[in-house]
Amino acid sequence: MIDRISAIIALVFMMVVGLPLVFARFPNPAARTGLIAVLACGLLGTVVFFTCDAIPAAWRRLRVMRELAELSAAARRILLHSASALVIGPLALVVHVLTATVMCVFATSLRLPLTFLDCVLLMPPMMLLAAVPLSIAGWGVREGVVVGALSMIGIGTEPALALSVLMGFTMMANGLVGVVPLVLGGRRYVAIRPRYLGGEGVP
């Protein structure tokens, strides 16, 4: 969960940094409003998540709220208050830049007028919207975003849809690679929750 959260935070950071360039590339007022809304939701979600452990003690009687609070505290400790954040942050950004690079390669192969900078600017809002739990693995949502965004710079529906589908299959293939260690890893990947007795952790 913290891995996925760090990836989303990196997307929000990339959107904040690249917003002036996105506005210059997409002057459409509706597009600007949509981008601002996506960015605002991303920022609000980040702040809310990092403060979830401040919920009232009475709410923690619910298991889901208690575990959310524990996850929030752990994520804040790892991502904001430890040396590991200096490694996790850059790596999260590198992963997204690599995704934009793959997108640029596909766009070049399809002879689409997209530069590497265009792909870097388009990828964060595309991935953020695809992360919304409205479909399976973002299918459908991602395609709608890509087709809508690329239509504003004169790219037709068919090539834009082809680009999005290629990106979707690439991400699916990348995710399937992770199945290999899970299948062959044996008990190394079995999580065991420690029980706490007398204030000391006893597995």
pLDDT for position 16? 87
Q: What is the mean pLDDT of residues 59-66?
A: 82
Q: Rounded to 5 degrees, what are φ and ψ at 93? A: -65, -40
Q: What is the mean pLDDT of residues 25-53?
A: 82
Q: What is the mean pLDDT of residues 161-180?
A: 81
Give the H/E segment covering residue 196: strand 195-197
Q: What is the mean pLDDT of residues 48-68?
A: 83
pLDDT for position 83? 78
Of 203, 184, 185, the residue nearest 195 (C-alpha) = 203
Model confidence band, residue 105 (pLDDT cutoffs 50, 70, 90): very high
Higher pLDDT: 139 or 186? It is: 139
| Rounded Cα–Cα distance for residues 166 and 65 (Å) | 38
Q: Name 26's Cβ contacts closer than 8 Å, sequence gap at least 6.
A: 32, 35, 149, 152, 153
User: Looking at the predicted structure, is the pLDDT value of residue 190 above 60?
Assistant: no
Mean pLDDT computed over every residue of the chain: 79
Query: 120 and 98 in contact (C-beta within 8 Å)?
Result: no
| Rounded Cα–Cα distance for residues 51 and 45 (Å) | 10
Cα 171 to Cα 158, 166, 168, 195, distances in angstroms? 20, 9, 5, 37
pLDDT for position 198? 45
Model confidence band, residue 60 (pLDDT cutoffs 50, 70, 90): confident
Domain ranges across the chain: 2-164
